A and B are shown apart, each in its own frame.
Chain A
Amino acid sequence: MKSSLSKLRKRSHCRRILVISTHAFTQLARMKVFYFLAIFAGITLASNFFDLPQHAGPEAVGANVLSSIKSWSLGAMTLFSVVLSVVATALLLPKDVEDRTLYTILAKPVPRIDYLAGKLLGVLLLVFVSLALMDLLMVLALQIRTSMVVAEQAAMASAMGYTPDALASLRAETLANGPNGSLQGAVLVVFFRAAIMASLALLISTFSTSTLFTTIVSFAVYFIGHFQADARDFYLQAGQAGQGGFSRFASLAVSLVLPDFQLFNVIDAVIEGQALPWLMLGKIAFVGVYYALFFTLASWFIFADKEF
């Protein structure tokens, strides 16, 4: 019995990480986080009625409603994903310590990096699944509404005597505001930002003493991170202008320590109908993975000889 048990044991980091992450996913899922999908559905529906009667002309028909569906949906996705990443990550670690379940896990042959990576991936899995579900809802709403708008515009434009080429260009423009690849890219960008936030919260929770502290610091970093690019530009320009002094040093410190969240504002550009090329998406993905890896390794560095 004993020999067969120990012989058959499979040990790999991946397997253990997978076990811990699916467990964290189940734990969060059973905290009923998926209920917010109902709220999201409500938001998507509400954004459908956001068609203000302004301006005459076929190109103005439904001009607002498509972008309002997108900006409401992606806004809700941003909100949910960032809050979920931060709060869930900030919650999981202290909860395990408090309930002493951490002892039972670390008393098994589980390396601490596996534990951390597992928890992080569990949260990310949850965020990914939620985003995928929200994305599905958004695309569905957008698809239906886009075809409605295209039909309305076509009817109005033909009545106004638009030539076929004018009709075609109007149609192409409206479809560019419908569901497309760039929009899916934007949802992925939302995910990458959430991944950075989750790993950041993980890092903070390894040395913070309370969930509240982790949450507050994470959100502070999130907001200030949107100014990081300004600090960096100031630092670089001040360097060119030959200025020095304290402000330059402070701006350098801010730009080195804080993550740059302004990059993720490409989401807004996509909502406005700009195309997001795959190469650019890849570069943002690289940034996301770079941060997540660094923060996870830093968390491990602190967590490795932490005492409980």
Chain B
Amino acid sequence: MNAWLKTGILLIALLAFGAARLSYESGLHREFRAAGLMVPRLDIGSRGRIGQTSSAVALAGLRTLVATFLNLRAYTAFTDRRWGDVEQTFDTMVDLAPHTRSYWDLGSWHLAYNAASYYLNDSKLPPLRRREAWRSHIWKGRAFMERGIANNPNDWRLLANLGLLLTDPNKFPAFRDINASFAAAAECYQKSADTGKAPGFVHRAGLYALARVAGKEAEALRLARELYAQGPKSRTPTLRMLLFVLEAHENPSMNTELRALELLGPPEKAYAALAAHWQRSRERFPVFGVSSAIEALEKSLSIPKEKSLLGQALPPPPDVDDGFRN
């Protein structure tokens, strides 16, 4: 057969073959993406950051392999405290492997905890800039985790870890609107619980966050009663205490002493629990009815006035600015 004719036929066959598969493959892409089996494309920025050769390797279908090597690089940067490199490397790693939870977890942790406390404690920067660096790294860690959640909406652990980050007393000063961050934490825990995979403590942590949102006490009380009804296993000391506090908020005329004895046990035990809660002021838990219950219990336990807990100074509220003053 004539060579030109043959080439022509082959070319037409190649195009026809391509046209026949075009829509099938396109549909398959959509289907895979919907099933979470298709990782988004590598953007130009990431390609640049990991370098020509590595991007070639990544493009050859070895993305997770490149990510494991970058993990090494990130670890070295972490031990050298090069936080900019840590951030950038983790950014690239999650571009390559957006469904690997540990990368999101680690990246957020490095930024919000390690980098932030580095600037809090070790840096040689002037105080104002250190404070700003501390604050911005906590926000970076938060934003990183939020991106991870957007990529893995069904991962209960990432949601729970973001909740943990938002309710960390050491970080309160970084969030200007503390009420909003408690609300966000409560939402995270709620979503985490909604995945159906989260263990019991996540449900309770949701209550602990919600209870601290001013204006959501009724909702929190509903949740507290729900969790309390689940049985003795979920009735942790904090849960009992919050139930007591929230009930006192709903009904200011409640007999707090009676209710405290019902919920918290015999007088000595109830008093100890109330005292502990009173002193947890750093964590900003509500204290409705706590002082009146303490007062009543001190009376019935005949604790002298001068030894009253209510007369003693509370531990100071968290103020990181102390750390920046020296």
Contacts and interface: CB of A to CB of B under 8 A. Distances in A.
| A/B contact in complex, CB under 8 angstroms | yes
Interface of A: 47, 50, 52, 54-55, 59-60, 63-64, 67-68, 70-72, 74-75, 78-79, 82, 162-163, 165-166, 169, 193, 222-223, 226-227, 229-230, 232-233, 236, 255-257, 260-274, 276-277, 280, 283-284, 287, 290, 294, 298, 301-302, 305
B61 A287 contact: no
Given A230-B41, A264-B61, A169 B56 contact: no
Contact of A274 (B17, B21, B68, B99): B99
Nearest to A167: B199
A257 B14 contact: yes
Interface stretch (B26-34, B116-124, B168-176): B26-34
A178 to B, nearest CB: 15
Given A55-B106, A263-B29, A268-B97, A276 B22 contact: no
A43 to B, nearest CB: 10
Contacts of A165: 199-200
Contacts, number: 155
B166 to A, nearest CB: 18
Contact of A272 (B1, B99, B198, B201): B99
18 contacts: A54-B78, A55-B105, A55-B106, A71-B62, A71-B65, A78-B61, A223-B60, A226-B61, A227-B59, A256-B18, A263-B25, A267-B61, A269-B99, A273-B99, A276-B37, A283-B28, A287-B21, A287-B25
A269 B37 contact: yes
Contact of B32 (A50, A52, A280): A280
A181 to B, nearest CB: 14
Interface stretch (B5-13, B285-293, B307-315): B5-13
Contacts of A301: 6, 9-10, 13
A78 B29 contact: no
B32 A263 contact: yes
Nearest to B67: A71
B35 interface: yes
Interface string B172-216: 000000000000000000000000011111000000000000000
B61 A193 contact: yes
B254 interface: no
Nearest to A190: B61
Contacts of A236: 26
Contacts of B200: 163, 165-166
B63 A265 contact: yes
Contacts of A222: 60
A262 B29 contact: yes
A222 to B, nearest CB: 7
| Majority DSSP secondary structure for residues of B touching A | helix
Interface of B: 1, 6, 9-10, 13-15, 17-19, 21-22, 24-26, 28-29, 31-32, 35-39, 41, 56, 59-65, 67-68, 71-72, 75, 78, 97, 99-102, 105-106, 109, 157, 197-201, 233
Contacts of B101: 63
A256 B37 contact: no
A301 to B, nearest CB: 6
Contacts of A63: 101-102, 105
Given A67-B64, A70-B64, A166-B199, 20 more contacts: A47-B68, A50-B68, A54-B75, A54-B78, A54-B109, A55-B106, A60-B102, A63-B102, A72-B68, A78-B62, A193-B61, A226-B59, A226-B60, A266-B37, A267-B61, A274-B36, A280-B31, A284-B28, A287-B21, A305-B1
Nearest to B16: A256
A204 to B, nearest CB: 12
Contacts of B201: 163, 166
Nearest to A189: B61
A265 B39 contact: yes
B39 A268 contact: yes
Contacts of A59: 157
A71 B71 CA distance: 13
Most B CB atoms within 10 A — which of A223, A236, A262?
Answer: A262
Contacts of A287: 21, 24-25, 28
Nearest to B202: A166
Given A165-B199, A232-B22, A298 B64 contact: no
Contacts of A271: 64, 97
Most B CB atoms within 10 A — which of A70, A74, A75, A276?
Answer: A75
